[in-house]
Amino acid sequence: MTTNPNGNNAALVVVDMQVGVLANAWDTARIANNVALAVSRARAEGVPVIWVQHSDEELQQNSTLWQLVPELEPVESEIRINKHFNSSFEQTELETVLQGLGVAHLVLAGAASNWCIRATAHAALERGYDLTLISDGHTTESIEFEDGTVIEAATIIKELNVAMNWLEYSKRKNTTVTAQALAFNA
């Protein structure tokens, strides 16, 4: 489903940087600080910041685990979206919000890299948005399989960064950038 966004604005979408999601995630303090840097830069450049929070049986809305980590605090004017599925677009008002803001370029950060960040990135690209993933602004947990095989979180993160640089979509741009190098109006 492609919507071909109208406009040329950017927005920073911060996904699931919640206490319960990050409880066992890799390098949480550094990632949270990098996301905070991206938020600060977005605000300084007048770029909308959209906060997405997951809720389900384990992350009940308004519970302690559902709250954003202390390093991140939305200001009252910033949009908050609640979701129940991996993709931040699935059965939420995100697309309507983006269209209302004239957004064509999403800058994405948050958790979990292999679930909600990946699903949101693909959904954005499939809808016609350009996408920049903050390469040091997303995290996840390692995965251990029944046979004892482990895929380390750092490897999952690295793989998603590679994918977001190499995927190709018609008439869309996708890339990664570090939080330090992020410039919305460059």
Q: What is the pTM of this model?
A: 0.96
Which whole number is the average pLDDT over 14-25? 98
User: Where do the H-state alpha helices sit in 45-117?
Assistant: 94-100
Please state, rounded to an integer, the average pLDDT across all residues of the chain: 96
Residues 82, 55 contacting (CB under 8 angstroms): yes
pLDDT at 6 over 90: no
pLDDT at 75 over 70: yes
To 10 degrees, the CA torsion angle through 97, 3, 89, 172? -100
pLDDT at 59 over 80: yes
pLDDT of 185 reads 77
AA identity, residue 77: S
pLDDT of 3 reads 62
Of the pLDDT bands very low, low, confident and very high (cuts 50, 70, 90), residue 4 is low
Query: 125-159, pLDDT tens digit by residue?
Result: 999 999 999 999 999 999 999 999 999 999 999 99
Of the pLDDT bands very low, low, confident and very high (cuts 50, 70, 90), residue 186 is low
Which whole number is the average pLDDT over 163-176? 94
d(CA 51, CA 9): 17
Among 87, 118, 76, 105, smallest CA distance to 174 is for 105
d(CA 14, CA 49): 7
Which whole number is the average pLDDT over 56-61? 95
pLDDT of 50 reads 98
pLDDT at 1 over 80: no
pLDDT of 5 reads 76
pLDDT of 130 reads 97
* Six-digit token string for 10: 């950017």
Q: What is the residue whose two structure tokens read 């905070």?
A: 36
